[in-house]
Amino acid sequence: MREIVFDTETTGLDNRADRVIEIGGIELVNRFPTGNTFHEYINPQGRPVHPEALAIHGISDAQLAGKPTFPEIAARFIEFIDGAHLVAHNATFDMGFINMEFERIGHPAVGLERVVDTLAIARRKHPMGPNSLDALCRRYGIDNSHRTRHGALLDSELLAEVYIELIGGKQAALGLELAGQVEVVETRFTVEIRTLQRPAPLAPRISGDDRAAHARLVAELGENALWAKLADRLAGREAV
């Protein structure tokens, strides 16, 4: 299975007006980095970098002067991602910009069936968050100390490590590169879990007064209250 973990930097947040100014991506085959990468700074063709975006990625208009435009790098990027699933963090943002750039050059959009959003995976796996890339690096012990600003290639490299952790890939497989091909060797482990019994049960935390107060409250709720039905069911079990 071939996947491209990628990231973009842009002049701003509006994909219809703003432009992609950096793309970075790394190739995974069977969840193992192959060493094949893509990285380009892109001239936004007259669209200035918004100050708020500049504060995030640090890419200035002066740095982009003389860089190739998206139409000039599009063929290489299309070839790089051809046939692969695309993995991005908050993929809606990145794919919105990529597909808008494709629309401008008359190339078909990338379908959502090819896209994996690591932010969505992280939110399901860690619903209490936080789930930013930096937060996930801290959670999984991935060194991101060299990430002082956002950068498309560096963020792609970090995201690839996070992605493999999110899906449990490091625990499930070991990748070995042989003769230019990637062979995945699966390893399985058996874990024995033993539960110990307490020598004496813990003392109940609910006092007799608490039980009596609860019974009075249930009586006030009426016979159709859920608590009353539960009490009848428990009484039936005890009778059996």
Contact between 68 and 23 under an 8 Å Cβ cutoff? The reply is no
User: Looking at 39, 50, 150, 214, which residue is catalytic?
Assistant: 150
Residue 89 annotated to the active site: no
Q: What is the CA radius of gyration of the chain?
A: 27
Please give the backbone phi and psi of residue 100, each rounded to the nearest 5 degrees, phi first. Answer: -70, -40
CA separation (Å) from 178 to 26, 39, 118, 164, 174? Answer: 19, 26, 29, 21, 13
In SS3 terms, 22-83 reads as EEEEEEEECCEEEEEEEEEECECCCCCCCHHHHHHHCCCHHHHCCCCEHHHHHHHHHHHHCC
Active site residues: 150
